[in-house]
Amino acid sequence: MEKVVLITGASSGIGMNAAIYLAQKGMKVYAAARRIERLESLKQYGIIPIQMDITKEEDRLNAVNLILRTEGRIDVLFNNAGFGLFGPLEDISIEDAKYQFDVNLFSLARLTQMVLPYMRNQKSGRIINTSSIGGKITSLLGGWYHASKFALEAYSDCLRLEVKQYGIKVVLIEPGLIKSEFAQKTYQDAKKFENSPYSNLLERVKKQAENDYIKRHVGSDPIVVSKVLFKAITRKKPKTRYLCGKLSKTAVFARWILPDKVLDWILLKR
């Protein structure tokens, strides 16, 4: 039986690449995104586009109901939608910070709640969450983004324990540097706070991001995430976490082995 997969945040980068990869592997893929027009090209692969603003209850409910009416089941939920809010913690409004958590955690959790009853009933399923090495180690001016990903790690760990009895597996994918629009957004966001008392740090981040993401295009191809995702879906006993992409293992090892003050020095120097 072909796997029925729902992917959020499928309009670009990791999500779009994953949708195509899984469809080519014979899975029935429903690709969701806020900007449905950007999903048009996926139809040629047999992928079904769904308009979904992950933060809107009606959109979430419509997506789940559509898949269940059509397929009668959901085997895999790939919670991939997310974004990074970058800037000084003193400058970013609490309203913006709440929205960061809404997209990266609370809306993800609500969509998961909608899918779980059906997975429990069929006594199988995979909930796969896109975290980040940013859920393990922080970077300069990424405070609210990192906080949301640290929280996602804890949420996933608890969920994994709760749903194990129903044959449902929960997996975290922790990418490092991946070529995507997400990375370039760091550069764009760093330019917003021109009058900030942290303008010196902002200027350093802007220059580094410009050098890395715009000039050098550093980062791994999104296909590395798609291959890991395929393993997480198809293996009988998947890992609880998969590190992938540039600097992922290096960063996590550094977090594990280095004292906080040494790591702080490295991050500030970088």
Q: Which residues are catalytic?
A: 145
Q: What are the CB-based long-range contacts (under 8 Å, 24+) for 193-198?
A: 193/87, 193/88, 193/91, 196/87, 196/88, 196/90, 196/91, 197/88, 197/90, 198/88, 198/90, 198/91, 198/141
138 φ/ψ sector (left φ>0, alpha ψ -120 to 50, else beta): beta
Strand, coil or helix: what is 191?
coil
Q: How far apart are CA 155 and CA 252, in angstroms?
A: 19
Q: How many CB atoms lie within 10 A of CB 158?
A: 11
Phi then psi for 173, rounded to 5 degrees?
-105, 130
Distance CA 29, CA 4 (A): 6
The span from the first CA to the last CA of the chain, in angstroms, equals 49
